[in-house]
Amino acid sequence: MKNALLILIMSTTLLCCTSKQDESVLLFNTISFKLNNGEEVVEIDTKKKEIFNSYFDKNDVQIPLFRCIKSDSYLIFIGIPFNTSVKELTDYSLTQALNQTFFEGDSTSYFYKTYSNEKEQITTYARNFSNNLVYVLTVTNSTELSDSLFSTKELSNRFMQ
């Protein structure tokens, strides 16, 4: 009986003290990016950097990779653009192997572009928060996921101030 009570107390304590997964990723100041169920922030290793950088022509833009979020079906890369503007990012196209399929934006506060090739759906989204730029690049092989999770509205709603 004593052992059962001890196990019950330990289990309850463990359940109560287990930390919940963060629901957002702090980017800077009071700006954070909301995480959906099944997403986790992962280490930016050499492979993740290579994937992110493979979408850019070398030296054209400076967008250091800041965070990488992984799900079973997609990757989300968050970069903090350096020495550029929304207008310059709007004018920039990803590598030639991708076909731009959609554009929306105002060239001062945000832009949204989608790209595709035979195996991937890519979305880019940049937003200006009081002269602090955030750049999001998403990669999935599912058109349905891309259209639902990475629409302008959905990406915009993931930023919290």
> For every one of its 161 residues, what pLDDT tens digit does the chain have, with 9 covering 90 and above?
444 333 333 333 333 343 445 699 999 888 999 999 999 999 999 999 999 999 987 667 889 999 999 999 999 999 999 888 999 998 888 887 889 999 999 978 999 999 999 899 999 999 999 889 999 999 999 999 999 999 999 999 999 98
What CATH number did the domain enclosing 26 receive? 3.40.1000.10
Would 42 be classed as within a structural domain?
A: yes
Would 7 be classed as within a structural domain?
A: no
Cα–Cα distance measured from residue 59 to residue 11, given in angstroms and rounded to the nearest whole number: 54
pTM above the 0.75 mark? Answer: yes
Would 98 be classed as within a structural domain?
A: yes
For the CA atoms of 8, 9, 14, 20, the dihedral, rounded to the nearest 10 degrees, stands at: 90
Would 75 be classed as within a structural domain?
A: yes
Comparing C-alpha atoms, which of 75, 74, 120 is closest to residue 94?
120
Q: Which long-range contacts (CB under 8 A, 24 or more apart) does 150-155 make?
A: 150/114, 150/121, 150/123, 150/125, 152/104, 152/112, 152/125, 155/112, 155/123, 155/125
- In terms of residue numbers, what domain contains 35? 21-160
What is the count of structural domains for the chain? 1
Cα–Cα distance measured from residue 50 to residue 44, given in angstroms and rounded to the nearest whole number: 10
* 74-79 β-sheet, strand order: 40-42, 65-70, 74-79, 132-140, 121-129, 110-116, 99-105
Would 46 be classed as within a structural domain?
A: yes
Q: Which H or E run contains 88?
A: helix 86-91
Would 39 be classed as within a structural domain?
A: yes
Q: Which two tokens stand for residue 70?
A: 């992984």
Q: Which two tokens stand for residue 85?
A: 């503007």
Q: Which pLDDT score, from 0 to 100, does residue 21 have?
A: 52
Cα–Cα distance measured from residue 45 to residue 96, given in angstroms and rounded to the nearest whole number: 25
**What residues are paired with 134 via a beta bridge?**
127
For the CA atoms of 151, 152, 157, 160, the dihedral, rounded to the nearest 10 degrees, stands at: 130
Q: How far apart are the first and last CA of the chain?
A: 52
Would 16 be classed as within a structural domain?
A: no
